[in-house]
Amino acid sequence: MDSYDVCVIGAGYGGATAAALLAHSGRRVALIEKTKVAGGKVQTVDRKGYRFEMFGAVGIPAHDSRFHELVEVLDIGDQVEFLIPEGDVASIRYKAPSGEWRTMYSPLQMTGAPEEMENLQRVFGASDEELEALAELYTTILSLEDEELEALDDVGMLEWMRPFGLPKGLESQICMNLNTLFVVPVDRLAASEAILTMRQQAMGGAGRYSVGGYGRLAEACADYVVQHGGAYLPKQRVHRIAIEDGRAIGVETDDGVLRAQAVISNAGIQPTVLKLAGSEHFPAEYIEFVKSLEPSWAIAGYRYVLDKRIFDAALIPIFSDQSWLDDERYEAMEQGSWPDVPLIAIDVPSEFDPSLSPVPGHQIANCQVFCSPDPESSMGEEAVRRAEQVLDELWPELRNHIIRKEPYGPKAISSLSRDSVLPGRGGEAVGIAQVVGQVGKSKPDARTPLTGLYLVGCDAGGRGAGTHQAVDSGFHVAAMVDADLG
């Protein structure tokens, strides 16, 4: 029977980070991943020479991120090269209340330059006074002390923002950005999480990619584990967490049991506790807590390969004042009452790294819309259908240039990442929703009540948006496990 210091279930960004950092600390690690490639939801795949992510992937913040820190600690800068393009590589498409589409090109990092302010006035019709309200909002965001931020764990972001008196268009832009970052309703999005990420975005910009694909750093982490005495086992599903005398002692795969002093799971808190370990090993109140956790929404969309450059930017958010989502608007959508423009986010990886396409000039793009995390729900199909109508309006030539078009939604997300173990769960795009009541002290502890079992990834141990949160969690959980092992 193989024996390790630590078994890590799942090579998503949380699991891959924790595994590599523990290997860096001298621990013997087994990293077990059910799919072929490391990277979890943002793994990069190859389809006939075209490389792209299974789901959308752009890193925020662009500069000074946890990704940079990880590369530095592991000293693998020769294997992972970040791409942060300069110039106007984002292009907002805003449908004004008049019905007119307005376009705003901007850099990934706003500087507050006069031409940027003029653009905001032109696109959102903001007056000088209203721009001052925006400046006031950002000054407050940048100046809040840690304790003040912590006190906002229990405050919804919309409620926190409203007193600044932003005009409708600018409010729409910020709310759509927050929906895109956290995939939860802005009224219940914890202001502490939102402000932290808006601050990171203001200081570090909003778009990072890696040469060869966004999953590149996770792949390098898996290699690092192997180069430092451990094992990376792709295409191996963990069926059970092995438990003896009330503690986790390893994992069971098709090839038998791998023993370890600690088990770290990146498979999601609900699947880990309710399925892989089993409810009987935890106190009843913990099981109730785990079952009560609300997931983020899912994202449905299309991965496109195009035979020509159709999209003129790396990041293209498309919205109107009706598009951003709070609870009320999301529930209306669930009931069949949709906004004029469903909130659409298009990432164009080949604008970051043209070498993703084997044919020069071909474009790889990902069009994303929000929907229910329920793998059985058909809301995603409806969302994508409505999004396509908008794309037809904005890019009438798009349909004539599609070489490949892969649809996806909550079912695909669940099958690639976490199992659906409770009704309506599994397809969440991020993980446990970063809403009031589920962040800060109320967020699940990475150390579970079962001795030797830890959680990593977007459900526990980290802060920030998407993959940044997963890597942040990987840092904290690796340090926690290292200290516990002594």
Ligand X SMILES: Cc1cc2nc3c(=O)[nH]c(=O)nc-3n(C[C@H](O)[C@H](O)[C@H](O)COP(=O)(O)OP(=O)(O)OC[C@H]3O[C@@H](n4cnc5c(N)ncnc54)[C@H](O)[C@@H]3O)c2cc1C
Contact residues toward ligand X (CB under 6 A) are 9-15, 32-35, 40-42, 55-59, 237-238, 266-267, 299, 368, 413, 417-418, 429-431, 457-458, 465-468, 470
Q: Considering beta carbons, is residue 106 or 119 the nearer one to ligand X? A: 106
User: CA neighbours within 13 Å on the CB side: how many for 321?
Assistant: 14
Q: Which is nearer to ligand X, 333 or 470 (CB)?
A: 470
Quick one: CA torsion of 325, 327, 330, 332, rounded to 10 degrees?
Answer: -120
Minimum distance between the CB of residue 33 and ligand X, rounded to whole angstroms? 5
Q: Taking the complex as a whole, how short is the minimal distance between the CB of residue 35 and ligand X, in angstroms?
A: 5
Taking CB atoms, the residue at the shortest distance from ligand X is 12
> 93 or 169: whose CB is closer to ligand X?
93
Query: Closer to ligand X at the Cβ: 161 or 218?
Result: 218
- Coil, helix or strand for 280? helix
Shortest Cβ 61–ligand X spacing (Å): 10
Residue among 407, 408, 404 at smallest CA distance from 306: 404
Least distance CB 285 / ligand X (angstroms): 25
Of the pair 124, 408, the CB lying nearest ligand X is at: 408
CA atoms of 240 and 259, how far apart (whole Å): 12
State the DSSP code for 417. S
Burial of 151 (0-12, 13-18, 19+ CB in 10 A): middle
Closest separation in Å from C-beta 69 to ligand X: 15
DSSP symbol at 304: E
In terms of Cα–Cα distance, which of 183, 115, 160 is closest to 467? 183
Point out which residues pair with 447 in neighbouring strands. 454
**Which C-beta is closer to ligand X: that of 131 or that of 299?**
299
- Which residue, 34 or 93, is less far from ligand X as judged by CB? 34
Least distance in angstroms from the C-beta of 145 to ligand X: 27
Q: How far is the CB of 417 from ligand X (least distance, A)?
A: 3
Distance CA 47, CA 360 (A): 16
- For residue 96 the two structure tokens come to 């004004």
Comparing CB distances to ligand X, the nearer of 222 and 306 is: 222
233 burial class (0-12, 13-18, 19+ CB within 10 angstroms)?
buried
Minimum CB separation from ligand X for residue 230, in Å?
16
Q: Count other Cβ atoms within 10 Å, centred on residue 78.
A: 8
H or E element that contains 303? strand 298-306
As a whole number of Å, the end-to-end CA separation of the chain is 24
Report the b/e string of 184-195 with b at 16+ CB within 10 A: bbbbbbbbbbbb
Contact 313, 280 (CB under 8 A): no
* Nearer CB in complex with ligand X: 126/222: 222
Residue nearer to ligand X on the CB measure, 13 or 160: 13
Q: Least separation, in Å, of the C-beta of 460 and ligand X?
A: 9
E strands in 348-447: 363-371, 402-408
Least separation in angstroms between CB 315 and ligand X: 9
Residue 59: CB minimum distance to ligand X, A: 6
Nearer residue to ligand X within complex by CB, 201 or 467:
467
Tell me the two tokens of residue 340: 């004029």
Question: Could you tell me how many helices (H) and strands (E) the chain has, helices first?
Answer: 16, 18
Q: Identify the helix (H) or strand (E) that includes residue 177.
A: helix 168-182
Residue keyed to tokens 């792709």:
234
Q: Are 101 and 51 in contact (CB under 8 A)?
A: no
